Amino acid sequence: MKTAIYPGSFDPLTNGHIDIIKRGIKLFDKIIVAILVNPAKQSLFSVDERIDILTECLKDIQGVEIDSFGGLLVDYAQQKNAHAILRGMRAVSDFEYEFQMALMNRRLNREIQTVFLMTGLRWIYTSSSIIKEAAYFGGDISGMVPPLVEKRIAEKFGNPSGNRKSNQPEGDF
Ligand code: COA
C-alpha cells in the first residue's frame, strides 16, 4: 500500500489543491490530506471547519483521507505508515522554500521521500491568501475554489448573497 501525506494549511482548500490531489491519487493508493495545526498562524477557518470542507469537497475521490496533525511532518508520516510527502510546486518562487523543506525532511527521516507535482498552469499564481483577499473586497472567486468554499468564504465576510461576478470564462485568468 503506497501512502502519501499531502500536508498544508488549506485555509481554505482551492481548486489548485484539488488538482494536485486528483493527479496524486494516480500515483498512490492512499493520500492523507493533513491540515497542519499551527496556532502561530492566524487562519480564517478553524481546523474543524477545514476538516468539514475537505471532507465534503473530496468525498468523491477514492483513496483520500482527511486528518490534522501537529509537530514534525516526518513523525506524522511515519506514524501513518506513509513513505512519501506530496507537494505541489507552483512558480519558481516556491522552489527555494520547497527545496529547503524537502532537504530538512530528508535529513530528519531518510525513509520518507518528497514527491513534487507541477501545479496545473491555471493555478500557478493562486494561493489561499490571495483568493481570500479578492473575496474580501468583493471579487469573484468562482472557478478558483469549490462552490462550498466560495459559499463559506462569503458567509465569513458577511456577503452570503455571493460576490460580484467576473466576465471571464469559468476558471480562466
Ligand atoms: N494551488 C494553489 N495554491 C497552493 C497550492 C496549489 N497547488 N499549493 C500550495 N498552495 C498555497 C496554499 O494555499 C498556501 O497559501 P497561503 O500561504 O496563502 O495560505 C501556500 O501555498 C502555502 O502552502 P501550504 O501547502 O499550506 O504550506 P505551508 O507553508 O502553510 O505548510 C507544511 C507547509 C505544513 C508542509 C510545513 O509547514 C510543515 O511540514 N510543518 C510541520 C512542521 C515540520 O515538520 N517542520 C519541518 C519541515 S522543514
pLDDT of amino acid 164: 58
**Mean pLDDT (whole number) for 114-130:** 92
Cell of 9: 494549511
**Mean pLDDT (whole number) for 78-92:** 95
Q: Provide the domain count of the chain.
A: 1
Residue carrying the nine cell digits 474543524: 48
Residue 141, in any domain of the structure: no
Residue carrying the nine cell digits 468562482: 142
pLDDT of amino acid 93: 81
List the domain range (segments joined by +) for residue 111.
Answer: 3-125
Angle CA 101–17–10, to nearest 5: 70
Instruction: Centre a 10 Å sphere on the Cβ of residue 81 and count the other Cβ atoms it contains.
Output: 10
Is residue 123 classed exposed, middle or buried when 0-12, 13-18 and 19+ CB atoms within 10 A define those classes? buried
Residue 147, in any domain of the structure: no
Of the residues 23, 30, 80, 90, which is catalytic? 90
The pLDDT-based confidence of 168 (bands split at 50, 70, 90) is low
> Would you call 35 helix, strand, or coil by DSSP?
strand
CA 58/CA 53 separation, integer angstroms: 8
Residue 43, in any domain of the structure: yes
Ligand 1 centroid – CA 25 distance (Å): 19
Residue 97, in any domain of the structure: yes
Ligand 1 centroid – CA 114 distance (Å): 14
Residue 93, in any domain of the structure: yes
Contact 104, 73 (CB under 8 A): no
For residue 102, the domain's CATH number is 3.40.50.620
Of the residues 17, 50, 87, 152, which is catalytic? 17
Residue 92, in any domain of the structure: yes
Ligand 1 centroid – CA 92 distance (Å): 15
Across all residues in the chain, what is the average pLDDT? 92
- Of residues 1 and 69, the one with the higher pLDDT is 69
CA 16/CA 98 separation, integer angstroms: 17
Residue 139, in any domain of the structure: no
With a Cβ cut-off of 6 Å, ligand 1 is lined by 7-9, 11, 14, 16-17, 20, 36, 72-73, 88, 90, 101, 104-105, 119, 123, 126-129
Residue 134, in any domain of the structure: no
Q: Which atom of ligand 1 is nearest to the CA of 36?
A: 34
Contact 77, 112 (CB under 8 A): yes
